[in-house]
Structure 1
Amino acid sequence: MSVLAAPPEPLAPPRTRPWRTLFAVMFFTSWAGNQFSPLLLLYQERQHYSTAAVNGFLGVYVLGLVPAFLLSGALSDRYGRRPVMFAGVLAAVAASTALAFGESGALMICFGRFLAGVTVGTATCVGSAWMKELSQWPHDPAADTGAGARRATLSFALGSLAGAAVAGLIAQWGPWPEQLPVLIHVALTLPFAWLVLRAPETATTGGVPGPLRAQLRVPAAGHRRFTRVVLVAGPWVFAASAIGYGYLPVLLADATRGWGIAYATLLTVVALAASAAVQPLA
């Protein structure tokens, strides 16, 4: 007489959703990248930097952003998502700390902006990959296939918006306009340097053979869709936003005298709010 074995019980869904921790981490790292935009006029007015110098501060950000884009993803494939993202959180804290000492000179501002670029580049590459992996089985069985990409983009957009709004409002009407916005960011971000180390590791560390430079090759970069659409339209999308809330407030400083920082904040918030609003449709 044969005995039929009972079918195995399905695995219970996880009680926690680790993607939520990563969402907050990406929120505050992207905050570090855009809190500076409304402060351009503040530096120009209080420290008497030229328009070219102020826009140069904005551009230094790219010097940290591009290497982070190129290297952080490959490093996280080789060494794991956690340590590289942890470094990104520390860079965010260091960036805001450097900007808190911006009154000491242009070099400190440039250093802070460079680190902000490193932070955002790391959060974009490593955070997006990690979010996708945490938004599927076994970490989030209920998520659909596009949930990871939507969550990553939304966290980035909302963090950028919050950073610009908080910094701009304090700079226009609050006390200690050069220090308080960035110190608030430091206080809010520091706990996530610990929390990110508790998130599940999803990359198989040590499993990528060959030299690191071999990982920097992107096969999709030769795809027709990338070369004819993304590569052409991408810089214009980035430039349109950067000119809108980075350059125009400085250019119109005389016309908006007394309200220039609030105007810069408004432009930044509108652009980033639109970016966040379209994510459910993306």
Structure 2
Amino acid sequence: MPLSHTPTVQVSAAATAARAPRHWLRAGWLMTASGWSANQYSSLLGAYRAHLGLTAATTTALFAIYVVGLIPGLLVGGPLADRHGRRRVALTALGISALATCLLMAGPAAPALLWPGRFLTGVGAGTLLTAGSVWIKELSTPPYGTAPSPGAAARRSGLFLSAGFATGGLAASLIAQWAPHPMVLAYVPHLVLVAAAALSAGRAPETAPPRTPDPTVPAHHTPALPTHRTPALPTHRTQFRRLVVPVAPWVFAAPAIAFAVLPGLVDTRLHGWQTVYAGIITAVTPGAGLLVAPLARRLSARHRLATAATGLLVAAVGLLVGALAVAHAQPAVALLAAALLGVGYGLCVAYGLTEVAALAPPHHLARLTARFWAVCYLGFCTPYVVTVLGGAFAPSTILIGLAVVALLTLAALLRPGVRSSV
């Protein structure tokens, strides 16, 4: 009898391990759709100026209004995901994202629709980021998945997001460069991705923990608690402010500068190829963030602050290289700067998601994740700040100033009071 029972148990365990990863993969496409929706517009800034006659200030303001919609989406999405479940909120947000893309497609015929289109893009992306990233993290850990740690599980949503950032902008720019009706057809791939993501995520299980303890629910239905650094609520709020908030704005400040600032300042020699060049930058930047994922894991294992410190340092170097590229109008040097800024983005987002997963109790995970993304997306206002300051300072000077701010953030993170609390 033991001889026949043991292989059955082994096969069953192997089958469970094989099935578990598919759950987070199914939900992961939601994050890719979110990143795609955010970045498909970024590579079309020059095309909007050329085809619709929009000014640089208008296109930059449209870039920033995304954040105006995103912040409330993030802040509301967290409590909604805790109350109504990850899947329902994520799929609703996906529908809002699709509606926003349809409004952007109508923009060439009615430019006023670009404003609500960008605003709703932010609302959908913000809500999706909160519910989706928490859902993926929970689907990656027992009883649903086999991720080795909460930090590793949390970083998966950042990888899917980066994939959307990298491919969305490049695809939109290539379509806008060579296809007819570029301001319409450039958005079609996102609608296809939304449909595929909805079909995929609809088969993933709900993971939201019950709001009140229920003794009739088996223990294996409750997602596992983090095994380290799970402090009481006041402590996790304090550590969030000290360790995460200073770094979070740089998560998107770095790529936003690469997407929305550098191309327009160095592409004067690229006659007829400006849109493709912008698309390449939108692919290179998050692509570099994807490639440093193994480095982020190694740095995190070495020291809790190492990932953030390295990310801020690389972002500062990227800004300095960007200043050099702008001063001499060198597109190739700007690509190098974009890659460095992408590395900074990848390390900072991995650090932030890891810290949030470690700090938050399960019943507050969605809310704390929402706060993290809300602070991150403040960085998307950086291009507008650069445009405003451009009336008084040279662009290269502004970039050098931002590099100094990044280094000051690094110094604040590493000051003795913060390091002693780690």
Establish whether TM, by shorter chain, passes 0.5: yes
Distance 2:248 2:156 in 1: 20
Partner of 1:56: 61
Query: Contact between 1:84 and 1:122, CA under 8 Å: does it hold in 2?
Result: yes
Q: 2:238 aligns with which of 219, 222, 231?
A: 222
Aligned residue runs from structure 1 range 248-263, under 5 A: 248-252=262-266, 254-263=268-277
Q: 1:103 aligns with which of 101, 108, 113?
A: 108
Q: 2:50 aligns with which of 45, 52, 56?
A: 45
Verify: 1:65 aligned to 2:70, yes or no: yes
How big is the shift at 1:279? 1.7
For the structure 1 residues 244 and 19, does the alpha-carbon distance in structure 2 shift closer, same or farther, using more than 3 Å as the test? Answer: same
Query: Contact between 1:33 and 1:119, CA under 8 Å: does it hold in 2?
Result: no
Q: Which letter does structure 2 place at the counterpart of 1:37?
A: S
For the structure 1 residues 265 and 219, does the alpha-carbon distance in structure 2 shift closer, same or farther, using more than 3 Å as the test? Answer: farther
Q: Which letter does structure 2 place at the counterpart of 1:189?
A: V
Partner of 1:278: 292
Q: 2:137 aligns with which of 111, 126, 132?
A: 132
Partner of 1:84: 89
Q: Which letter does structure 2 place at the counterpart of 1:220?
A: H
Q: Which letter does structure 2 place at the counterpart of 1:260?
A: Q
Partner of 1:247: 261
Q: Which letter does structure 2 place at the counterpart of 1:264?
A: A
Partner of 2:365: none
How far does the alpha carbon of each residue in 1:87-124 deviate from its partner, in whole angstroms, 9 at most, with x for none? 12112211211111111333211222112212322232
Partner of 1:121: 126
How big is the shift at 1:60? 0.8
Structure with the higher fraction of residues in helix conformation: 2
For the structure 1 residues 162 and 122, does the alpha-carbon distance in structure 2 shift closer, same or farther, using more than 3 Å as the test? Answer: same
How big is the shift at 1:235? 2.1
How far does the alpha carbon of each residue in 1:241-281 deviate from its partner, in whole angstroms, 9 at most, with x for none? 21221123234454433221112112211111111111222
How big is the shift at 1:168? 1.1
Question: CA-atom RMSD, angstroms?
Answer: 2.5
How far does the alpha carbon of each residue in 1:158-203 deviate from its partner, in whole angstroms, 9 at most, with x for none? 0111101100111122332111121121123124334433310111
Query: Contact between 1:21 and 1:199, CA under 8 Å: does it hold in 2?
Result: yes
Partner of 2:207: 202
Distance 2:40 2:189 in 1: 11
Distance 1:276 1:144 in 2: 19
Q: Which letter does structure 1 place at the counterpart of 2:175?
A: I
Partner of 2:27: 22
Verify: 1:177 aligned to 2:182, yes or no: yes
Distance 2:147 2:243 in 1: 29
Deviates most, 79-88 or 14-23: 14-23
How big is the shift at 1:22? 0.6
Give aligned pairs, total. 266
Q: Which letter does structure 2 place at the counterpart of 1:59?
A: A
For the structure 1 residues 207 and 171, does the alpha-carbon distance in structure 2 shift closer, same or farther, using more than 3 Å as the test? Answer: farther
For the structure 1 residues 253 and 45, does the alpha-carbon distance in structure 2 shift closer, same or farther, using more than 3 Å as the test? Answer: farther
Distance 2:269 2:61 in 1: 22
Deviates most, 39-48 or 192-201: 192-201
Partner of 2:282: 268
Partner of 1:235: 249
Q: Which letter does structure 2 place at the counterpart of 1:250?
A: G
Verify: 1:165 aligned to 2:181, yes or no: no
Distance 1:264 1:218 in 2: 44
How big is the shift at 1:237? 4.2
Distance 2:234 2:29 in 1: 28
Q: Say which structure, 1 or 2, has more relative contact order (CA 8 Å, 6+ apart).
A: 1
TM-score normalised by L of structure 1 = 0.85
How big is the shift at 1:218? 8.4
- Structure 1 unmatched runs, 5+: 1-5, 209-216
State percent identity of aligned pairs. Answer: 37
